[in-house]
């Protein structure tokens, strides 16, 4: 059950930059460009990953060391999760 909560929250965080005109949820921008959205995606990836690392530390007691391949794959998965927001913002041009 917790894995579904983690996946749904990752989908939420991945689509958050596409859904709002606020930069990092707090700063109002009149028009966000693709560069700012990509910066937000990267920052939300690291924020969400840090939260999951803290959660792993609290539940298991230690963290597993990962190589660069793990982070490359999870970032690509985070980008795939942001695809509905991309369709909403860019293709439908809301």
Look up the pTM and report it: 0.81
The predicted pLDDT at position 18 comes to: 84
What average pLDDT does the segment 3-14 reach? 90
**71 CB-side CA count, 13 A:** 12
> Rounded distance, CA 57 to CA 14, Å?
23
Per-residue pLDDT tens digits for 31-72: 778 888 898 999 999 999 999 888 888 887 887 888 899 899
Q: What are the residues whose beta carbons fall under 8 Å from the beta carbon of 78, sequence distance 6 or more?
A: 10, 14, 41, 44, 45, 48
Dihedral over Cα of 29, 34, 36, 41: its sign = positive
Q: What is the DSSP code string of 19-77?
A: H-SEETTTEE-SS--HHHHHHHHHHHHHHHHHHHHHHHHHHHSS-----HHHHHHHHHH
Say which residue, 94 or 66, is predicted with more confidence: 66
* Tokens found for residue 19: 């859904």
């Amino acid at each position: 059950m917790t894995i579904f909560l983690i996946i749904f929250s990752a989908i939420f965080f991945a689509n958050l930059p596409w859904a709002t005109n606020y930069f990092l949820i707090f700063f109002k921008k009149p028009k966000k460009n693709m560069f700012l959205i990509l910066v937000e995606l990267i920052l939300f990836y690291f924020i969400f990953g840090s939260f999951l690392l803290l959660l792993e530390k609290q539940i298991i007691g230690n963290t597993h060391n990962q190589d660069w391949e793990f982070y490359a794959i999870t970032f690509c998965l985070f980008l795939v999760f942001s695809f509905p927001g991309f369709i909403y913002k860019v293709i439908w041009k809301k």
